[in-house]
Structure 1
């Protein structure tokens, strides 16, 4: 029987000008590794005569990684953000996600770090942090 576990997912990111060697993300939140927004594939317009027209459009893909407050991968995102701030420029990332349980891999290209909390929220314990990347492209490839 095939398992749908996400526990064996392997996610690597590179930021060529900061981290040229792929870094494997680790220390995910207990209930979430990442979220992906739906991506609109078509733009539509309804004419005044009631006829619907549509056409293909490119849209970015938003992905949010969720890391425990003590994840060793937090340093990757903080360094990426600090380096951009220091340079007053942006550095794009590339990524690879392998989902072993379903035998699929996904290649992510030209990603921008668009948002992150400056530090973890604090409750009874420190809370997970969410790091959002906006990708130009995410493509599925067979393993």
Structure 2
């Protein structure tokens, strides 16, 4: 019987002109490793007569990656933020998510780092650090 564990999942990201070979992201937060927001795929309007019309639309996918403050991958995101700030340009990336538990692989295409904390939150202990990458396209494949 298959499981739904996420303990064996993986995420790798290649950042063009910074990390051209895929970097395996490690050291995720326990309760919030990586997630994607729901993507609106249709525009819906109601006419004055009460009839609904709809049309397909494209939208990007926002993905939140939350890593621990002692993660070896934190430096990847910090360097990425610094490179973008220094160049005053965006650095595009591509990635892959592999979920062995359900036999799925996801190709992440043409992403941009759109949000990230400058440092871990300081509370009783250092807090997990979230970063958001916005992808042009996410394609599901059988693994």
Which TM-score band (shorter chain)?
over 0.9
Per-residue CA distance 1:3-51 (angstroms, 9 max, x = gap): 1111101110001210000000000001121121100111011001111
For 2:118, the equivalent position in structure 1 comes to 118
Structural mapping, 1:67-82, within 5 Å:
67-82=67-82
The runs of 4+ residues in structure 1 deviating greater than 6 Å are none
Unaligned runs of 5+ in 1: none
In 1: Cα distance, 2:19 partner to 2:136 partner:
19
Structural mapping, 1:1-143, within 5 Å:
1-143=1-143
In 2: Cα distance, 1:141 partner to 1:35 partner:
17
The normalised TM-score by structure 2 is: 0.98
Unaligned runs of 5+ in 2: none
